[in-house]
Amino acid sequence: MDELTKKRLARNLFVQSLDLGQKLPSANKIKEEDNASNKIDCRKCAHFFVTWEKNCPYGCKAYGFKGPQMPSIVVKSSSGERCNFFKQRV
């Protein structure tokens, strides 16, 4: 994925995650769709971080956004694909 595409996707994800009127699929629905081998646990990713912001407590350094839901859920709901930047935390 080139840098321009990555920046556009990050901008779109940021806008979608801040649009609190928009309903994103619940975490349970995403988990039901994914089988055990496709699950991504953001808490185990090196790019995941937690913020002090009440409305946007979760963030992803790889995609460059913060939001109210786990980044993997936002990525899955907006692009239809699982996160490609998952990197196991050491």
* Per-residue pLDDT reduced to its tens digit, 6-20: 777 777 776 666 554
The answer to the question of residue 27 being in a domain is: no
CA distance 25 to 6: 23
The answer to the question of residue 33 being in a domain is: no
The answer to the question of residue 25 being in a domain is: no
Helix ranges (H only) for the chain are 3-18, 27-33, 71-79
Q: Which domain holds residue 59?
A: 1-20+39-90
| pTM as predicted | 0.59
Closest CA to 86 of 77, 75, 51: 75
The answer to the question of residue 75 being in a domain is: yes
Count of domains forming the chain: 1
Task: Answer for the pair 10, 63: CB distance below 8 angstroms, yes or no.
Answer: yes
Average pLDDT over residues 55-81: 92
The answer to the question of residue 30 being in a domain is: no
pLDDT of res. 3: 78
Cα-based distances in Å from 40 to 1, 82, 83? 19, 8, 8
The answer to the question of residue 26 being in a domain is: no
